[in-house]
Amino acid sequence: MRKKIELLSPAGDLGRLKIALLYGADAVYIGGQNYSLRANATNFSIEEMKEACDFAHHLGKKVYQTVNIVFHNEDIDGIYDYLKQAVDAGIDAFIVSDPFIISYIKKNFPKVEVHVSTQNSTTNIETVKFFQKEGVDRVVPARELSKEEIKEIIDATGLDIEVFIHGAMCTFYSGRCTLSNYVTNRDSNRGGCSQVCRFAFDIENQDKKFTMATKDLNLARYIQDMIEIGVASLKVEGRMRSHYYLATVMSSYRKIIDACYDGTLTEELLEQQEKILSRVANRETSTHYFTHMADDTDQYYTGRQELSNQDFLAYVIDYDATNQIVTISERNYFEPGTDVEIFMPSGKVISFTIDKIYNENMHEIEKACHPEEILKLKVNSVVEKDSMMRIKI
Amino acid sequence: MKYVIIPNDIDELDFYKEKGIDTFIIGLEHYAINYPTASLEKIQELSQKYSLFISVNKNIFNSELEDVKNQLIELSKLSIQGVLFYDLGILNMVQENRISIDLVWHQTHMVTNYNTCNYYYEKGVKTAFLANEITLEEMLEIKKKSKIKCMVEVFGYPIMSHSRRKLLTNYMKSIGKEKEARTYLLKEQDNTYRLKETEDGASILSGKLINGTKPLFSLIPNQIDYLVLDMQEVDRKIGKQVIDTYLYLFKNIDKIDSQEQEEIIQKMNAIIGNHTNFFYQKTIYKVKGDKNEK
């Protein structure tokens, strides 16, 4: 019998890691201080990595570390100590792209899993077999593959395959783009990508700017398909995304996955979760290559299309069950009369209309309008710690 | 050490041969990105007259594997210098099917360090086409610390990125037009880029020609095995001047003093611009506000 499909979340720092795991991720992937393709994210120190692994392992979950840069000569100095420290901290797997590093890890740290990054843009059975011979435990194929192509790989190799299901997409094949190097002198294959694919260019003989930015990926409706074809892990993109984003996305996918397994997946549930996911996204989404050869409908043509919303109203710090008072840290404006919902790490959601808002000293105030201000609300139901309050969706 | 030409068109090989360069890289039809391509039959014909490397540098999909394997078997029967590959599936097929063919590791932007070159060398890959995005110093270190033969591009419009998406077609559709050419110029601030689209998707190339004149004064004495001149979309007259100069350097590098060296560099700067790509420019990736940031 196949293992239950894994939900894999990004985590840019320790706080995000904890939120992702609490809200339903089975595993997280993180970057250390070096060798990761998000060089400008906060990333993890060794001490934080150890705390992250302890936290995850305590919950029966896993932590993977990205070491997926394209190495230059100078980068190899100190790699042994770097990897050793991560192994000692408890990392469960390294996500790598350079085949030399695959063999290096397998030779020096044989007990740690090695996953091949999508940076390698693996597109076929033979390439997966190549990595299989090298001893890798999992491959993250290119995001340019269809459901049928992924299934063929799984059927032919039996190797664990991890598939991106949600988040930003590269316009170009991963690893096959150095626009950032040429336009901004930042090395895209060593974590410095400046997202030149989201710039607007003049194009000869045309009035309208040329853009090539893609819509984000959203495969919420295809989780059942992923399970059926034998995908091992579902990956969400976005190590630099917020706590609220991670909580929302993990919570939604957790519900969909669990519903697939316990036979309770309904159109209503899918529609509700898609609605929630679309609210937290800052771009439009598409299913891209998983369902069709990507075409003009998968791109933007009018420059940057990044919308922000103010759905996230507050972070729950504490709940006083005796007095039925929830203590929150404000994030966005709300006032009495606002319809809200609190969603919790367990998946529970409660909806209500804001009645009265109190400050930290239980003095009633007219509105919540100062980010990070500590406020209190009366809520009749039990609210879990680390819950989040948002506009009712 | 020898020069290798990527021609603009496979019909012009004689022109270069007459100039004294008889080794070429051409792409295998349907399976090459940013190379002029030829069918297997045409390659068979050309291989009897010219020294050829064949590029099979496309990302290969499952449905193409059988055909690629068969074409590799056929290529192995020809007298060619080797096959440039991007997709590691090709390496696997060559190993598993014991296809007797010399492979050139050509993962475009990923050929960046000597450890990985040595890794491939141990796998039987004897040549690596180094990335255009590393420095001259890094190239020379790879040459020094690896047994692998090195290819370095010293002239041409370097490819920056490749997508499976039909970016040009999609854009034109968005404005209700059809594309009228395969290549369009893009402009951003003062820089120009070249957008090309084929059946395999879209590529963006730099709008600046790599001027390898100055680097050649280091690359030639350090015995870099293959120096590649990409003549695609280069004016024939300019291409001829570049070849003449590069051949002169190759023959006379030991005799050229510093004054003549400077004169040659200045002359070439006037013809093809002074863009030395990343030969002397290190990229950054971590520190915001670094002095190297553009």
CATH code, domain carrying A271: 3.20.20.70
Domain that holds residue B169: 158-207
pLDDT computed for residue A282 by the predictor: 80
Instruction: Reply yes or no on whether the pLDDT at B261 is more than 50.
Output: yes
The confidence score (pLDDT) of residue A309 equals: 78
ipTM of the complex: 0.95
- Select from A230, A248, A225 the least CA-distant residue to A238: A248
Whether residue B294 is contained in a domain is answered as no
- Give the pLDDT mean for A105-134: 97
pLDDT tens column, A349-369: 999 999 999 999 999 999 999
Q: How confident is the model at residue B291 (pLDDT cuts 50, 70, 90)?
A: very low
Q: Do A204 and B185 touch (CB under 8 A)?
A: yes
Q: Chain A partners of B60 at a C-beta cutoff of 8 Å?
A: 123-124, 126-127
Examine the domain organization and report whether B163 and B251 are in the same domain. Answer: no
**Does A167 fall in a domain?**
yes
A307, part of any domain:
no
> What's the pLDDT tens digit per position in A71-98?
999 999 999 999 999 999 999 999 999 9
B184 touches chain A (CB under 8 A): yes
Q: Determine, yes or no, domain membership for B115.
A: yes
Q: How far apart are CA A385 and CA A316, in angstroms?
A: 6
pLDDT in tens, B84-133: 999 999 999 999 999 999 999 999 999 999 999 999 999 999 999 999 99
Q: Lowest-pLDDT range, A301-315, B140-154, B155-169?
A: A301-315
Same domain flag for A220 and A323: no
Q: Are residues A293 and A331 in the same domain?
A: no
Say if residue B38 is in the same domain as residue B120. Answer: yes
Residue A37, in any domain of the structure: yes
Both B109 and B38 in one domain: the answer is yes
Over residues A58-65, the mean pLDDT reads 98
Do B140 and B164 lie in one domain? The reply is no
Query: What is this structure's pTM?
Result: 0.95
Residues B147, B168 share a domain = no
Q: Are B127 and B33 contained in the same domain?
A: yes
Same domain, residue pair A332 and A215: no
Domain co-membership, B223 together with B124:
yes
Whether B127 maps to a domain, the answer reads yes
- Domain membership flag for residue A305: no
Instruction: Report d(CA A49, CA A92) in Å as an integer.
Output: 11
| Residue A204 lies inside a defined structural domain of this protein | yes
Report the CATH number at residue A377: 2.40.30.10
Q: Check if B108 contacts A (Cβ < 8 Å).
A: yes
Question: Contact, A316 vs A388, CB < 8 A?
Answer: yes
Residues A214 and A163 in one domain: yes
Residue A355 lies in a domain: yes
Query: Which CATH number fits the domain that encloses residue B65?
Result: 3.20.20.60
Instruction: Judge if A214 and A353 occupy the same domain.
Output: no
Where b means 16+ CB within 10 Å and e means fewer, A195-223 reads bbbbbbbebeeeeebbbbbbbbbbbbebb
According to the model, what pLDDT value does residue A306 have? 64
To the nearest whole Å, the CA of A205 is away from the closest chain B CA by 9
Is the pLDDT at A381 greater than 90? The verdict is yes
Q: Are residues A32 and A57 in the same domain?
A: yes
Q: Read off the DSSP letter of residue B155.
A: E
Residues B167 and B257 in one domain: no
Clarify whether residues B202 and B79 are in a common domain.
no
Q: How far does A99 lie from chain B, in Å, by closest CA?
A: 7
Residue A378's domain comprises 312-391
Asked if A191 and A239 sit in the same domain, the reply is yes
Q: Judge: B175–A120 Cβ closer than 8 Å, yes or no.
A: no
Task: Tell me if A303 is assigned to some domain.
Answer: no
Answer for the pair B134, B158: CB distance below 8 angstroms, yes or no: no
Based on the domain organization, do B163 and B150 belong to the same domain? no
**By the CB < 8 Å criterion, does B169 face chain A?**
yes
**3-class DSSP state for residue B202?**
strand
% of chain B with per-residue pLDDT over 90: 94
Number of compact structural domains in chain A: 2
Do residues A354 and A206 share a domain? Answer: no
Which of A36, A43, A68, A70 should we substitute to test contact with B (largest number of B Cβ atoms within 10 Å)? A70
Q: What's the mean pLDDT in A49-68?
A: 97
In degrees and rounded to multiples of 5, residue A323 shows phi and psi of -95, 0
Interface test with A, best of B68, B93, B163, B178 (most A CBs within 10 A): B163
Same domain, A199 and A319: no
- B68 and B162 co-located in one domain: no
Confidence label for A305 from pLDDT (cuts 50, 70 and 90):
low
CB contact under 8 A, B170 and A295: yes
Domain count across chain B: 2
Q: What is the mean pLDDT of residues A184-210?
A: 93
What kind and span of H or E run contains B259? Answer: helix B258-272
pLDDT at B50: 97
Query: Whose CA is closest to B141, among B113, B179, B180, B182?
Result: B113
Tokens for A388, please give them.
Answer: 């989040």
Task: Determine the Cα–Cα distance for residues A311 and A278; give it in Å rounded to an integer.
Answer: 12
Domain match, A383 and A326 both: yes
For residue B110, give how far its alpha carbon lies from the nearest alpha carbon of chain A (Å).
6
Nearest Cα residue to B133 out of B149, B155, B153: B153
Mean pLDDT over the full length of chain B: 95
CA distance B195 to chain A (A): 9
**What tens digit of pLDDT does each residue of A123-162 get?**
999 999 999 999 999 999 999 999 999 999 999 999 999 9
pLDDT tens, position by position, B54-91: 999 999 999 999 999 999 999 999 999 999 999 999 99
| Size of chain B in residues | 294
- Considering only the beta carbons, identify the residue of A100, A142, A210 that sits closest to B171: A210
The partner residue sitting opposite B165, judged by closest CB among A131, A181, A294, is A294
| pLDDT the model gives residue B288 | 52
Same-domain pairing of B172 and B48: no
| SS3 category, B37 | strand
Same-domain status, A198 and A239: yes
Average pLDDT over residues B214-224: 98
